[in-house]
Amino acid sequence: MNVIETKIEGVVIIEPKLFHDGRGYFFESYSRRDFDERVQTVAFCQDNESKSGYGVLRGLHFQRPPYAQSKLVRVIRGAVLDVAVDIRKGSPTYGQWVGCEMTEDNHRQFFIPRGFAHGFSVLSETAVFLYKCDNFYHPEAEGALAFDDPQLAIDWQIPADKIVLSEKDKHHPLLKELDSPFVYGKCYD
């Protein structure tokens, strides 16, 4: 696998090594050994899958400690723009975001460590999105940021009138209103 660093330390793009032949292709989508050696040691415990149509925007979500989550995400059908926003107080990249376009053809994966808000927009007619999490879902620990926060200025690559949100995702706070539960340099194991 090829690990690509982003402008935010700890958030990485992973490109698997594909093996092609007359039957199609094969690749290891996840190897704990390689991930631990090349990215960081993470004990994933839950896999999730979602299917969404064009314009669906999910996010920007996180779980508060002690239920914080790291996520390893990928697309198996379609195309999405995936985004991670640094919400760790005291971080040199606090409030900055990095995005990764993932498609069924590029097979990229995106790793988002604990201390980040996460969201994605669907750029294709439909998309099937998979993510591994290192902590179980706890609804009482849900946190979120407004997807359209002008301070973040995220280009979701979808016209504003085509964005489809859940009712809940229409009412999240701006970054300046967030009392982030994360502190840069603190471990949330």
31 strand-pairing partners: none
Please check whether residue 161 is in contact with residue 92, taking contact to mean a CB–CB distance below 8 angstroms.
Answer: no
Mapped to the 3 state alphabet, what secondary structure does 143-183 carry?
Answer: EECCCCCCCCCCCCCCCHHHCECCCHHHCCCCHHHCCCCEE
Contacts of 97 (CB under 8 A, 6+ apart): 8, 83, 84, 85, 86, 152, 154
Which residue in the list 67, 94, 107, 131 is annotated as catalytic? 131
Which residue in the list 20, 25, 30, 61 is annotated as catalytic? 61
In the residue annotation, 171 being an active-site residue is answered as no
Tell me how crowded residue 10 is: count the other CB atoms within 10 A of its CB.
Answer: 20
In the residue annotation, 61 being an active-site residue is answered as yes
Q: Provide the 8-state DSSP code for 16.
A: P
Please give the Cα distance from 29 to 57 (Å, whole number).
Answer: 25
Residues with catalytic roles? 61, 131
